[in-house]
Homo-oligomer: A and B are copies of this chain.
Amino acid sequence: MARTHKKVRYSPERKDRGHTPASAAEGVEEALKVLEGRWKLVILFQLFDGKLVRFSELERAIPTISQKMLIQQLRQLESDGVVRRIVHHQVPPRVEYGLTDWGEALCPALDELLKWAASREDFKGASTSER
């Protein structure tokens, strides 16, 4: 009843090769590696939906993060190809951060994870183990 997706679609369907359980796990791990880091998800959720945000705005939006840590997390996200740094050549130069297209494309996956975490209570009781 609650099981709407009966089968993980890690078989072909897309142009890429079919997956074994091991290669599917590896692919997901690759995605998760990009998200690792205490602040990366918060930063991503600040930038989704095409937002362009200045460093100082991010600092204000995430008051518990240190400046050093914010710089580090942004650099890692940038080097992973998720965040882009836009320098406006004016005096003084203005720097903004936004998501790359690939970064924006992460949206549906995070959305599904969020829905899944939130659905935990809905499944309680329905799926206790036999003993």
Q: How close is A17's CB to chain B, nearest CB, in angstroms?
A: 10
**A31 and B102 within 8 A (CB):** no
Chain copies in complex: 2
Q: A21-B42, A101-B123, A119-B102 are in contact. Are A85 and B129 (CB under 8 A)?
A: yes
Q: B19 and A41: CB pair below 8 A? A: no
Q: Per-position contact with B for A96-131: 1 when CB-CB < 8 Å, else 0?
A: 000011111111111111111111100110111111
A5 at interface (Cβ–Cβ under 8 A)?
yes
Q: For the complex, give the distance between the alpha carbons of A44 and B4 in Å.
A: 17
Contact across chains for A28 and B110 when beta carbons are under 8 A apart: yes
A68 sits at the interface (CB 8 A)? no
Size of chain A's interface in residues, with CB distance under 8 A? 68
Binding site for B on A (CB under 8 A): 2-10, 14, 16, 19, 21-22, 24-25, 27-32, 35, 41-42, 44-46, 48-50, 61-62, 78, 81, 84-87, 100-120, 123-124, 126-131
Further 20 A-B residue pairs, CB within 8 A, beyond A5-B111, A8-B107, A8-B110? A5-B105, A7-B48, A9-B107, A10-B114, A14-B115, A21-B42, A21-B46, A21-B61, A22-B45, A27-B117, A28-B35, A28-B110, A28-B114, A32-B35, A81-B123, A85-B129, A87-B130, A102-B127, A105-B123, A109-B112
